[in-house]
Amino acid sequence: MSAAIQSYTLLDDEDCEQRILRARETLGERLVILGHHYQRDEVFRHADFTGDSLKLSRQAASSKADYIVFCGVHFMAEVADILSRPEQVSILPDLSAGCSMADMADLQNVERAWQELSEVLDPDETISPVTYINSAADLKAFCGSHNGIVCTSTNARHVLEWCFEQREKVLFFPDQHLGRNTGAVMDIPLEEMVVWDYDKPMGGLTPEQIKKAKIILWKGFCSVHQMFQPEQIDNFKQKYPKTKIIAHPESPFEVCQKSDYIGSTEYIIKTIADAEPDTRWLVATELNLVNRLHEQFKHEGKNVHFMSPNVCMCSTMFRIDPQHLAWVLENLVEGHVVNQVSVPDDVATEAKRALERMLEISP
């Protein structure tokens, strides 16, 4: 940790609050702060825009701001840099805020998988590579250069339907659960969705399994959503039988199968907001969001519960704190850009191709 940021870590949250507000006032329209739903409240309250990662990047790109401060994780700041205008600067308050799921698929392993698949079939003729937006920029670029595409948790089904119009198979990374849950609602049998284990030769699959597969799922997952289990639903409903279950599609297949509703964070928020008063909800997604929903809707008699009995928040999202935000903003006031996230031009060009392909086909 640099001495500069270290001095900020000694500040309490109230001091940071005042310094953030002063810096924001000084920077005015030159600054836009983006807050992902999973951010802690002390940071989330300062966001000009809140939402899912793609929505936030598009809002920032259309703003007048020179500086985009993304309170999220690294891949989100990369997307903001890719989609923003050349003169806009994308900043991540803490560069150690990564994503464990995104880290489970790297370019070297994906290129090796593509090469190994070529021993069984011609991947460029038969497979569409699809990367979840929760991935590094170079994987988005890989998809862009192989006529593939990016998806979000909102549009995954629409993207897969488009892919199957192009080719017969999909290589889906990095999250196996989103891929499997999406395939399931498209009535693709589980035996036609195989898992590629990147630690094993040929992904641990036989040539026959690869040839029969409709979707090849990367062995990746979200450490937060992985903790949810179907037994947690059963136990809760024994006490509250009328509870509605809602899950993010990064949750395991068995959890989604027991859920009444499945969808993105935006979908979860809207569904609970639109629900009848005096309803009870068990939610499979990140703790900060669930707690925020509980507070937001308790006056309507809505009881919003976190599915896991264990505390389960995104530890990398939690790295963005008021101290880092104050440090970044006060540096901008002084004319210094710290923690800029910049995607190399060649990578950004191909990644943007894959992102734009998704935006073009989205309803």
- Residues 27, 127 within the same domain: no
The CATH code of the domain that includes 270 is 3.40.50.10800
- Residues 28, 106 within the same domain: no
- Residues 211, 108 within the same domain: yes
- Residues 93, 66 within the same domain: yes
Q: Quick one: pLDDT at residue 30?
A: 97
Q: Is residue 152 part of a domain?
A: yes
Q: Is residue 357 part of a domain?
A: no
- Residues 107, 215 within the same domain: yes
State the residue range of the domain holding 80: 3-97+316-343
| Residue at which a domain ends, from 175, 193, 222 | 222
pTM: 0.93
- Residues 43, 27 within the same domain: yes
Whether the CB-CB separation of 245 and 260 falls below 8 Å is answered with yes
Q: Quick one: pLDDT at residue 312?
A: 56
- Residues 76, 177 within the same domain: no
Tokens at 123, concatenated = 């991947």
Q: Is residue 34 part of a domain?
A: yes
Whether the CB-CB separation of 151 and 362 falls below 8 Å is answered with no
Q: Quick one: pLDDT at residue 110?
A: 98
- Residues 119, 196 within the same domain: yes
Dist CA 200 CA 202 (whole Å): 6
- Residues 114, 67 within the same domain: no
Whether the CB-CB separation of 128 and 106 falls below 8 Å is answered with no
- Residues 173, 215 within the same domain: yes
- Residues 198, 88 within the same domain: no
Q: Is residue 359 part of a domain?
A: no
DSSP 8-state class, residue 30: G
Domain count, the chain: 3
Q: Is residue 354 part of a domain?
A: no
Q: Is residue 353 part of a domain?
A: no
Query: How would you write the pLDDT of the chain (363 residues) with one tens digit per residue?
Result: 565 788 898 899 999 999 999 999 999 999 999 998 888 899 999 999 998 888 899 999 999 999 999 999 999 999 999 999 999 999 999 998 888 888 999 999 999 999 999 999 999 999 999 999 999 999 999 999 999 999 999 999 999 999 999 999 999 999 999 999 999 999 999 999 999 999 999 999 999 999 999 999 999 998 888 899 999 999 999 999 999 999 999 999 999 999 999 999 999 999 999 999 999 999 999 888 999 999 999 999 999 999 988 765 555 666 899 999 999 999 999 999 999 999 999 999 999 999 999 999 977
| Residue at which a domain ends, from 306, 335, 351 | 306
Beta partners for residue 131, in sequence order: 150, 173
Helical spans, DSSP H, in the chain: 3-9, 13-27, 41-44, 53-61, 74-83, 100-103, 107-117, 123-126, 137-145, 156-166, 176-185, 207-212, 230-239, 253-257, 265-274, 287-297, 322-333, 345-361
| Residue at which a domain ends, from 170, 190, 222 | 222
Q: Is residue 47 part of a domain?
A: yes
Q: Which helix (H) or strand (E) holds 90?
A: strand 89-91
Q: Quick one: pLDDT at residue 100?
A: 85
| DSSP SS3 for 193 | strand
DSSP 8-state class, residue 340: B
- Residues 137, 196 within the same domain: yes
Q: Is residue 352 part of a domain?
A: no
